Chains A and B, each alone.
Chain A
Amino acid sequence: MKSMADEEVIRRLQSVEEREREVALRYLYERVQKTVRRYILKNKGNEQDVDDYFHEGIIAFYQLVRRGKLASDTKVEAYLFTICRNMWNKKLKKQMAQVALDDKQVPISEEDLQLKTLLSKERKDLIQDLLRSLGPDCQQLLIHFYFDRLRMKEIVQKMNFSSEQVAKNKKSTCMKKLRGIVLASPFYNNLLK
């Protein structure tokens, strides 16, 4: 793939246009995934870990870009690799600490390991439920505001609101809806703490 300047990658990730963001994500995937994969497989990881941690790394990187927290001279590919590497190393350290602890106590049973996996799948399913309950308009609006960190002006343009005030009112309604769903369900309340 043709090389893209760091500023160009950041500009595309900051763009309001979905297409621009996708081009930047595809570029990062092609340029950085292999290095991250090599590192994780060499350090006790498997292919699923590569996917999980590379994706988490890109998402974290994207959020930093959207919050304007990158220095202007950031080397994008190296930075993204560092994020993924640090996330992986943190997980390994936790695992080793757990193994050391478990050596002194009772080893983690297969059941407990499965329970941990089940909880994270459960959490994922809960988030999917939330998405569905909110409906596509509220989903999109809240994600644009809190995840993509678009300004209200940009959200108005993207979602065809008639004005910023209308968009703000809609956002307020959607947050109330989300709040209602979360507070009404003890299941959500407990699991999402």
Chain B
Amino acid sequence: MELPNNKIEAYLTGKLKGKELSEFKKQLKTDHQLAEEVKLQRQLIKQVESMGALKMKDQLLEIKEQLQNRRRRLIRNLIGLTAAAVFAGLILGSQFFGNTPPSSQELFAQHYQAYPLPFGDRAGGEEQLRQAGTFYLSSKYAQALPLLEQVLAENPDDSRSRLALAISQLELQQNAAAQQNLQLLIDREDPLYLDQALWYAALAALQQDQVATCRQHLIRLSGNPRAPHFEEAQALLKQLQK
């Protein structure tokens, strides 16, 4: 006997109502085959919901990491501002001898910090990716880089690994390659990584003295007040205007 799959799905997703629902429930009590099929499909849907929940947990962990990093940066900036205030006299004094604006490389050094991408258990059991994540998080970029390249050869759409690769390349002074990978992420417009990609692309351009390109990325980043590097982007844009 052919089972009414549409009705089963409607029942399990809460779309069956009224008379149809009560009749279906009656049928379940008497039709053993139907009851078994409903039980199985319920399990399958439960597994899909678990998959969705697991992916959402990954997203929440990323958000947690980003918020923590932003807090740390704010604290660091506050400490920096305090130190600047203490040395205000020296800064004022230097005006007498001519104060030159910081170079692109100085600005890069001021603002750049490798992003601690969360890998951890979410590497999903892929040994290569787990290892790459471990190296990356221990700042062993030379070891992380070839592993990340292999991961991306198999899965070119893995945005997290591509961001890690770009940052590793920046750390190893492979700027042109880093810019290429960051541009790929920007073109992809993956909502989870776009803001990070714009920020690092701005810094990569800055290090190459490509100030116009740097500004372009920063202006785009400044369009999103909720972006993790929003305040820094605004601060750097101001410095570049000097």
Listed in ascending order, the chain A residues whose CB lies under 8 Å from chain B are 1-2, 17-19, 22-23, 25-26, 29-30, 33, 51, 55, 58-59, 62-63, 67, 123-125, 127-132, 136, 139, 142-143, 145-149, 175, 178-179, 182, 192-193
Contacts and interface: CB of A to CB of B under 8 A. Distances in A.
A143 B59 contact: no
A55 B64 CA distance: 10
18 contacts: A22-B191, A25-B60, A25-B63, A26-B63, A51-B64, A55-B57, A55-B60, A58-B56, A62-B56, A128-B124, A130-B51, A132-B125, A143-B48, A146-B13, A146-B48, A147-B48, A149-B13, A192-B43
A146 B49 contact: yes
B52 A143 contact: yes
Given A142-B48, A146-B49, A146-B52, A22 B43 contact: no
Contacts, number: 91
A145 B50 CA distance: 13
B88 interface: no
Interface in B124-154: 124-125
B14 interface: yes
Nearest to B155: A136
Given A22-B59, A67-B14, A127-B47, A147 B124 contact: no
A127 B226 contact: no
A59 B225 CA distance: 25
Contacts of B45: 146
A127 B63 contact: no
Interface of B: 13-14, 40, 43-45, 47-57, 59-61, 63-64, 66-67, 121, 124-125, 157, 191-192, 225-226
Contact of B56 (A23, A59, A125, A131): A59
Contacts of B51: 127, 130-131, 139, 142-143, 147
A137 to B, nearest CB: 12
Contacts of A149: 13
Given A25-B59, A149-B13, A178-B44, 8 more contacts: A17-B191, A29-B67, A51-B64, A127-B51, A132-B124, A143-B55, A147-B48, A147-B52
Contact of A124 (B54, B64, B67): B54
B52 A29 contact: no
A2 B225 CA distance: 10
User: Lowest 4 CB-CB distances: which A-B pairs, in order?
Assistant: A147-B52, A19-B191, A143-B52, A146-B48
Given A127-B54, A128-B125, A131-B54, A178 B63 contact: no
Contact of B64 (A29, A142, A175): A29
Nearest to A174: B48
B56 A178 contact: no
Contacts of B44: 175, 178-179, 182
B17 to A, nearest CB: 13
B125 to A, nearest CB: 6
A28 to B, nearest CB: 9
Contacts of B57: 55, 59
B229 to A, nearest CB: 14
A193 to B, nearest CB: 8
Contacts of A22: 59, 63, 191-192
B4 to A, nearest CB: 14
Nearest to B228: A26
B13 to A, nearest CB: 7
A83 to B, nearest CB: 14
